[in-house]
Structure 1
Amino acid sequence: MEVDNSLILKLFEAALGADYTTVRRIGGRLARDLAAGKEGDAAKSLEAMLRKRGVPLQASGYVEAIPRDAGSRLPLVEEAPWPTSPLFLNTDAGHVIEQFIEDANNIALLAANGISARLGILLYGPPGTGKSLLAGHLAARLGRPFYVVRLDSVISSRLGETSKNIRGMFDFIPTKDAVLFLDEMDAIAKLRDDRHELGELKRVVNTVLQGLDSLADEVIVIGATNHPHLLDPAIWRRFPYKAELLPPDSEVRAAMWKHFLYQGGEDGEASALLARLSENMTGADIENFAHAARRRAVLSRREPSLPHILLAITSSTNGVPKLPDNHALSADEKKSLAQLLDELELPRTEIAKRLGLSRQMIHRYLKGSDDA
């Protein structure tokens, strides 16, 4: 890899001047150049050094000045680790995300050809669809630090403090060469229902717009909201990319059940069956159900119980999930499950296999017999 001599000079100048923010920024750029030059191991080693949250920097007396709310002294910006949980996306959202990543990885090329390199993506959809997880994965795919701002915590009850907080947040980010994640963006719009006056609302919105406009092209901005209809149209226009995250479709639900419940094992038929029955569940719901079932399996030293999972899914109501347990199934519960699987047009031999019952018992349940 050819190294820009001016970059090396800037790196030494920053290090000798204890400007560790610039050291990290240049280090991140060098790591990306190493990765682009097919020197992946060196890039990963450098990124690992930059992720150590400055142990040697703290020893030298350096402490990074995180912007804080003047009243509560709570941080306005937090650096978050890249996620380790896998990401599952529906086809449409996945296509938008891949396009966004391709553009973000080629900012310099686009700018050199006179194409605006200012990038931002707005993620919207119901809770539990993976907006925060996706934002973290985008930072990881781009190899950049991940800074999270929850706008509901930036909002201050003190008149004028909200705009000051937002300015402090945006002033902190430009030197970071990072991904900035603005979570709960609808918190700004909720000022309408608070005791803030209309003029204060306009000042806050304008401050957000000015902050977004002030960022360098290298800063990647991701916004997220559960209530897109509440956002000011001018904020929408600051995000060239928009991705609607909906509850997972059947194919994604099957993949999630296979991963979280069977850990990528072979039971694709059971995963497909669970996908059919979990149509109204979010990705977060599926993960929680699968983990609950695996906890019970580990503690009882058994395989995950499909009948208990099916019963928990069918017993759940919207917003109030009933997690699977290990109680002994009653005759009525077995009969109910047999009828459910019959309605899904599963062969009776398959129903018997999945419920761990004999074909004769399944026949009796489906004939309406109450004899267990």
Structure 2
Amino acid sequence: MDVDRSLVLKLFEAALGADYTTVRRIGGRIARDLAEVDAEGAKALQAMLRKRGVPLQASGYVEALPRDAGSRLPLVEEMAWPTSPLFLNTDAGHVIEQFIEDANNIALLAENGISARLGILLYGPPGTGKSLLAGHIAARLGRPFYVTRLDSVISSRLGETSKNIRGMFDFIPTKDAVLFLDEMDAIAKLRDDRHELGELKRVVNTVLQGLDSLADEVIVIGATNHPHLLDPAIWRRFPYKAELLVPDSAVRASMWSYFLFQDSDEDGASDLLARLSEGMTGADIENFAHAARRRAVISREDLNLAPILLAVATNKEGAPRLPDNRALTVDEKKMLSQILLDRLAMPQTEIARTLGVSRQMIHRYLKGCDDG
């Protein structure tokens, strides 16, 4: 990799001046260039950039973030790249890979006269990983990750909301960063607030003007749980759109394998859990898996699959039944046996193996015998 003398000089100048933001921006550029010849070295540099911000901040440097005039709370926050893995359904994954490829080739597209305005809107129900995905995109691009939640930008003081939005968009172009606009439907909710219709229009127009003012190289990611509330003009500002749905069966199996069994599932239990957990979000699966592992660690016992299966099978949205690591009662074994038969058409021999009892006992459970 050729060394850019001016870049090195700027890096040292920023480091000596405790300019943490510039150090990270230049480090990100170096990491992107290094990735072409040394992937492991690039990953190590990116990891260092994520973790080594404290010394500079302790030396007295604090980045001047735009703030709400009333609350003095920051309108934009720089967040670390995520360390949790990302699991995506095939369709969404294809869109994201196309988006990242285009974002990595902005200069090439511009040279060929192709508009490189890059923005992607992520939409779908809560818990499907929109914020996590935005962070992963920033990490893949090697750019700082700035987050603003539009529900916190909206002010109760007339006129302050538009001012906040302008401040946010004025701040980001100098950062060579990814800007993540979370809770974008918060703007539409002004309709149900005490704000005037004219104020709503001014806020929407300010967001549109802010998006239009950004240079092509600025990456913007929007997210909403309620896409039907967004103004059509906002939809048009995002050339890429990815709907994040609850994970499909293959993704659920991968998530159970990673979060519950730490990729050491040898008995096909992940596939079994995937079949029982249809409709669960990625966040639900992660929470269930961590709860089960906590119980196993505290009890100093191996994971007990049966109570995990029962908890997943009887899970209710809004009132989850978290698993424990105790042995099932006879009634619970009967219930789980019937569930595995009815919902998965599992053979009685497999049910017996899963519950750790004989096939004859499973037969008696399914016949309604009370003898446990």
Are the aligned partners of 2:92 and 2:243 in contact in 1 as well (CA < 8 Å)? yes
> Cα gap change, 1:15/1:362 in structure 2, threshold over 3 Å: closer, same or farther?
closer
| Residue 53 (str. 1) matches residue 92 (str. 2) | no
**1:292 partner SS:** helix
**What amino acid is the match of 1:75?**
P
> Cα gap change, 1:192/1:45 in structure 2, threshold over 3 Å: closer, same or farther?
same
Question: How many Å separate the matches in 1 of 2:299 and 2:39?
Answer: 47
Are the aligned partners of 1:110 and 1:117 in contact in 2 as well (CA < 8 Å)? yes
**2:187 partner SS:** helix
| Residue 122 (str. 1) matches residue 127 (str. 2) | no
Are the aligned partners of 1:34 and 1:43 in contact in 2 as well (CA < 8 Å)? no
Q: After TM superposition, give the deviation of residue 7 of structure 1 in Å.
A: 4.7
Question: How many Å separate the matches in 2 of 1:29 and 1:283?
Answer: 32
Gaps of 5+ in 1: none
Question: How many Å separate the matches in 2 of 1:214 and 1:3?
Answer: 33
**What amino acid is the match of 2:133?**
L
Partner of 2:243: 244
Task: Work out the percentage of aligned pairs sharing the same amino acid.
Answer: 79
Question: How many Å separate the matches in 2 of 1:305 and 1:333?
Answer: 14
Q: After TM superposition, give the deviation of residue 32 of structure 1 in Å.
A: 2.2
Q: After TM superposition, give the deviation of residue 367 of structure 1 in Å.
A: 2.1
> Cα gap change, 1:356/1:50 in structure 2, threshold over 3 Å: closer, same or farther?
closer
Q: After TM superposition, give the deviation of residue 25 of structure 1 in Å.
A: 3.4
Q: After TM superposition, give the deviation of residue 205 of structure 1 in Å.
A: 0.8
| Residue 358 (str. 1) matches residue 358 (str. 2) | yes
Question: How many Å separate the matches in 2 of 1:42 and 1:209?
Answer: 36
Cα deviation, 1:297-321, whole Å, max 9, x if unaligned, reads 1111222222111221232212221
Aligned pairs for 1:1-372 within 5 A: 1-4=1-4, 7=7, 21-22=21-22, 24-38=24-38, 41=41, 44-45=44-45, 48-49=48-49, 52-53=52-53, 55-56=55-56, 59=59, 61-267=60-266, 269-343=268-342, 344-372=344-372
Cα deviation, 1:249-289, whole Å, max 9, x if unaligned, reads 01111111111111101335211111111102111111111
Question: How many Å separate the matches in 2 of 1:135 and 1:115?
Answer: 24
**2:62 partner SS:** coil
Cα deviation, 1:30-81, whole Å, max 9, x if unaligned, reads 332233354752674377358633634653x543211111111111111111
Gaps of 5+ in 2: none
**2:317 partner SS:** coil
> Cα gap change, 1:329/1:17 in structure 2, threshold over 3 Å: closer, same or farther?
closer
Question: How many Å separate the matches in 1 of 2:327 and 2:39?
Answer: 56
Q: CA RMSD in A?
A: 2.3
> Cα gap change, 1:361/1:52 in structure 2, threshold over 3 Å: closer, same or farther?
same
Question: How many Å separate the matches in 1 of 2:7 and 2:310?
Answer: 61
Cα deviation, 1:336-363, whole Å, max 9, x if unaligned, reads 1111112222121111110111122111
Are the aligned partners of 2:178 and 2:218 in contact in 1 as well (CA < 8 Å)? yes
Q: With structure 2 as the length reference, what TM-score do the two structures score? A: 0.92
Question: How many Å separate the matches in 2 of 1:223 and 1:71?
Answer: 25
Cα deviation, 1:105-125, whole Å, max 9, x if unaligned, reads 111111111111110110000
Are the aligned partners of 1:146 and 1:178 in contact in 2 as well (CA < 8 Å)? yes
> Cα gap change, 1:332/1:45 in structure 2, threshold over 3 Å: closer, same or farther?
closer
**What amino acid is the match of 2:159?**
G
Q: With structure 1 as the length reference, what TM-score do the two structures score? A: 0.92
Question: How many Å separate the matches in 2 of 1:17 and 1:361?
Answer: 74
> Cα gap change, 1:359/1:57 in structure 2, threshold over 3 Å: closer, same or farther?
closer
